[in-house]
Amino acid sequence: MATICTNSRIRTLKLIGDSVKVKLKRRRSNDETGCASTAKRGGSYIIDKTTLGNNINVPSVLPIYGFLTIPFKYEFTTSRMYPGGEIGGLLGAQKTLNWDPNRSMSIFLSGTAGYSRVALNNTNIQSIDPSNTTFADAFSYGIAGGLAIEGFQLMIVRGIDSFSVSGSQQQLNWLMIGFGYSFIKPAISNK
């Protein structure tokens, strides 16, 4: 067990229930109380939240990451829905909102990239015949934004599928609206 004296400099990284994950920036001993810091400088430690009192300071903008699967996309040019078949990831930032002190609320903005399969001969989703449909592998990328209240999240993704057909580069512009739990996860959390 490591000791961190009260006059040492720490940075709050993450709130975990009743505990706080901190990083020791400067280790000092406290001559008045006889405390001797044994914690390593630069090390991360979990301590009880009540030890810090009101001095907990978690940044309001935090990095986020997540995994994204998109089953259906709305394509702008032909105004149709088509199967997305996308698997990818999200990386961005989340801004904590203080509208309601009893709830964890935030907005987020992130980039997304992944792999997608594009059906080449469908005019709408009802007419797809899997035995008569050809597909192209596509690189999908876009931007995602949304609102998170507690674990529930609402997200809008605006993206592009880029693929090649007979040596010609093609693109589909699309939109996806999703809602559910845990699309994104904070790399550092205030929960």
Q: In total, how many domains does the chain have?
A: 2
From 61-65, 78-82, 175-179, the region with the lowest mean pLDDT: 78-82
Q: Are residues 70 and 164 in the same domain?
A: yes
pLDDT per position as a tens digit, 64-76: 888 888 888 888 7
Q: Are residues 90 and 170 in the same domain?
A: yes
Q: Are residues 47 and 68 in the same domain?
A: no
Q: Are residues 70 and 33 in the same domain?
A: no
Residue 31 in this model has a pLDDT that exceeds 80:
no
Q: What per-residue confidence (pLDDT) applies to 145?
A: 93
Q: What per-residue confidence (pLDDT) applies to 111?
A: 95
Q: Are residues 67 and 104 in the same domain?
A: yes
Per DSSP (E only), the strands in 49-149 are 61-75, 80-97, 105-119, 135-149
Q: Are residues 43 and 67 in the same domain?
A: no
For residue 69, give its domain range: 61-186
Position 3 in a domain: no
Residue 181 in this model has a pLDDT that exceeds 70:
no
Position 4 in a domain: no
Q: Are residues 40 and 66 in the same domain?
A: no
Q: Are residues 121 and 30 in the same domain?
A: no
| Dist. CA 38–CA 18, nearest whole Å | 23
CB 19: neighbour CB atoms within 10 A? 15
